[in-house]
Every structure is written in C-alpha cells, then in structure tokens.
Amino acid sequence: MGIGAKMSEVQIGDYQSAAEFLSFLDADETCDVEVLDDDGEVYMAHALVLAARSPVMALMLTTDCKEKNEKRIETAFPGDVLELALFFFYDNTTARFFEAGENAATESVLGLLEFAEYYQCPALRNAAIRHLRLYNLASIA
C-alpha cells in the first residue's frame, strides 16, 4: 500500500496542530496548485492536501490529466463553498461553517454536501451532515 493510500487516514490531533497546519493555506509560496471556483476566482492550495482529502482530486493531480499538467483544478462550486471545503481540508474542523449568516451558512453547508459527493470526501460529507443536524436542533430549541 502506497503513501497516498495512508495519507487519507491522517487525522490532525489537537487544535494547535490544526492551527499550524491551517497556516500553510495562507503561505502562497508553498502552494503548488490553483483551485478555481465557478466564477474563476483562484484559491491556492497544496496538491498533497487535496490528494489526501479527495481520491478524485488525487487522480486529477497524479495521472496524465489536464489538472496535473496545468496544476489547476476548475470547479463548478461557488467561492463560499470552495473556501469552506479548503478550510476543512486543512484544519479538519467545522468552525468556519458557523461564521456565515444563518441562511448563508445553511446554503453553503448544503453546497458542501454536493462538493463532498462530487469529490468523494466522506469526512467532509459527514461533518456537513453533523453541522446541519446540530444547526437544525439549535434552531428548534
């Protein structure tokens, strides 16, 4: 079993580690792939992180595909959804899911479910479902 298969099992341990790992997302000089939202806005990321979190992105970035050759992934998802997905990829938390307004947050998290299904990200899918359940329970109470 190669390192790629093991990378998808990596979990970030504590908050400090997650915060340090998330700081890499802002370090453009180490980012090596562009991820575009549906409006063409560019988000910089690390191919290793994308490949570890999504088997679909792993194939795009490691086989003879346009994405590998151009170091660019074009998505059909809005920026708010893409940004939430990238933050989750890096810090493995749903804290950012709560930062948008009530309706925007729910809409964005529903978009995350679509993103998670499209790119086969079960951890993101499960986190979005947990968030929606908690959010709905909180709004009922």
What are the tens digits of pLDDT across the range 37-77? 999 999 999 999 999 999 999 999 999 999 999 999 999 99
Which pTM does this prediction carry? 0.76
Q: Which residue has the tokens 């151009």?
A: 70
Helix (H) or strand (E) segment spanning residue 21: helix 15-22
Closest Cα to residue 101, out of 89, 109, 93, 90?
Answer: 109
Confidence of residue 15 (pLDDT cuts 50, 70, 90): very low
User: What secondary structure letter does DSSP report for 8?
Assistant: T
Closest Cα to residue 19, out of 123, 91, 127?
Answer: 91
Taking phi over 0 as left and psi of -120 to 50 as alpha, with beta for the rest, 120 belongs to: left
Instruction: Give the pLDDT score at 140.
Output: 46
